[in-house]
Structure 1
Amino acid sequence: MLQASDFAGFSATIRDPLRRTTLRPRPTRSRRPRPAPSRCAPPSPTASRPPVRRRRADPRQADTPWRPVRAAGYRWPSDPPGAKSVSRPIPRRLALIALLAIAPALGQRAAAQERAITLASTTSTEQSGLFNHLLPIFQRETGIAVRVVAVGTGQALAIGAKGDADALLVHDRPGEDTFVAEGYGLDRRDVMANDFVIVGPSADPAGLKGGRDATEALARIARAKAPFASRGDDSGTNRTELRLWKKAGIEARGLGSSYRELGQGMGPTLNAAAAMDAYTLTDRATWASFKNRQNLVILVQGDPALFNPYGSILVNPAKSPQIHAANARIWHEWLTSERGRAAIASFKINGEQLFFPAGTMPSQ
């Protein structure tokens, strides 16, 4: 009979016919006896952990006395040449001197921010170039900077109602009166005026050339089913146009594909009209500064219904206490003063006066 001891040290492969697997004997491992735990001292918590690598001390700082670390980048005179900068405390006297040095600049910056206003106005005053002429004169005389938000009159009134502007310069008298009546604005004043004109393709399929009746002109456009480009942006120009359609007894949005609402300012609307050979209503100032006319020409002008007055309104500080009411008042007074009126009258393009101070327009 073979004993287990007869196979000691013998390595072989044994096949089990029932399991159909190969059995290999496991190598025997000798286990070291664990030392008995000491009753005197508890086991070290780091006994089974890898050794912790500790950073070597910098020999250059071995003899350096301890100093507090605060301000970065400061070097002590006792530091050896080539030593890295170590954070050191900033003496209070130096900090006070630095603060006193920058205080005037901070004060001037705050004062500059105080000497400014936000003006919500129309795209026609901005795109015509009026503000490029007017605002430098005002700032030179008063020291107040004006930041213009150029949008349609409807949006400008909404901006003022939210208190996001200090003053308004807009051109829709019914909307302006409502704005003041609801308490959002104060002291509405006439500032200047020009007029609207109806422009269209030189071929003039609706036969408007030489006409002076804006309402009849729109009726002819509707009968001819000619294309008409509308700003469609609730601006003063757009509101005037819709009133003219209503006066003609025509629902503009019922004209179908010939009536194009663009939702754009005056410049882009004129570009679209030129590209489509369409009619449109524009203020004369933007038309005078518009370069891409192509086949567009003025066809209807001179109707009293095309009169285009502009008004200045102060935003009510009782509704919006955060506004710059004092600076806005200076702008408001200057704009309607003799100096402001003279500045408005002096703005011309190709020798043509485009805005007339209130009460001076020839057709009034």
Structure 2
Amino acid sequence: MDRTYQEANVQSGSLSLLIVEDDAAARDSLCNLTAMQYPDFVIHCADNGRSGLECFRLHSPHIVLTDISMPVMDGISMSAEIKSLNPEVVIIALTSYTDTRFLLKAIEIGIDHYLLKPLVCEKLYGVIDNNVTLISELSQRRKMKIALLKSQNDLKLANELLEQRVSDRTADLQILIREQESFNYSVSHDLRAPLRHINSFSAILIEEFAEQLPGQALSYLDRIRTASSRMGALIDHLLELSRVGRAQIKLGQVNLSEMASAILGSLQETEPRRCVEISVQDGITVSGDPSLLRQLLENLLGNAWKYTSKKPSAHIEFGRTQAAGEVTYFVKDDGAGFDMEYKDNLFQAFQRLHSSEFEGDGIGLTTAQRIINRHGGNIWADGMVDKGATFYFTLPSQ
């Protein structure tokens, strides 16, 4: 289904908007509201993700306004396909608190904004206005570049154009970073608030009505609190992963040996009854960002501590070696290990190679890889089921 609202004075090159909503009343309302607010827009409508994707391929709109939960194809799947076709298109998702599981995926595929239902028109207009300005500026900038290229061909102007491109690209990236930071803040604020309410009201029910509730109901409440706590931790880790990608690298001399010893000491304090032999090679100093490298070691050593927890006596080692003629650092343990057949999944977000006997959300190693990539190094792993794992990483000399 595709319905077009177009005024008689619309000229070629007008901005276009695609609205994807399975509820007919809501779809018509959105189409009418946007048509009245933006009379020069070309507005297309679709009733599910699949028809929305077909409409996008046909008309290439500048902005997509989509519901999340829809039949045939949901808004997340459609948005992923659209972003693969045109990463620059602006996607605004409409959702509610019950769509939490979709919002987490939205961060990964690059949805630009989301608005909570019931929709507030002023917020929708504000988001569209901001993006219209950005789209217009970028379009005008591209036209200026084309005109400049056609009129000037000498080497000096080519060099000046190259510098301008770098400057423009930097400005564009800064805009995108600000938008991403705003999106992350919204996710953090809007998703944490309902989780806090769930936890708080569950606690009130347990504390004030425990004697009146059957045992099965109390068990359900406890499971609700546990699940909401895990969701809160997952949101924190996703935001942490995002911050790692944006953080400015501040180089300094970092003593990894002292850092590893301190981290392992803290882990021992949390579980003093565990029998773990710890080996940390002395004098390992590198150039890097102290904060990010601490986060790296906390993830790798934390994993080693976690995956040796089922052994009555364990061994964890941090040291330095040579691999392919390059100085290489490693974290080694003799814990649960992993099947090397699945090694390519180790550093992918949400991919876990172990069952629920070990807690985790599949974000830690993705964060570790991103930290190493930011430093220009490499990270990989060797392992064997029930024989332990070794994680290697390099940090090029700065």
TM-score where L is the length of structure 1: 0.19
Structure number with larger C-alpha Rg: 1
TM-score of the aligned structures, taking structure 2 as reference length: 0.18
Whichever structure has more helix as a proportion of its residues is: 2
Q: Which has the higher contact order (CA 8 A, sep 6+)?
A: 1
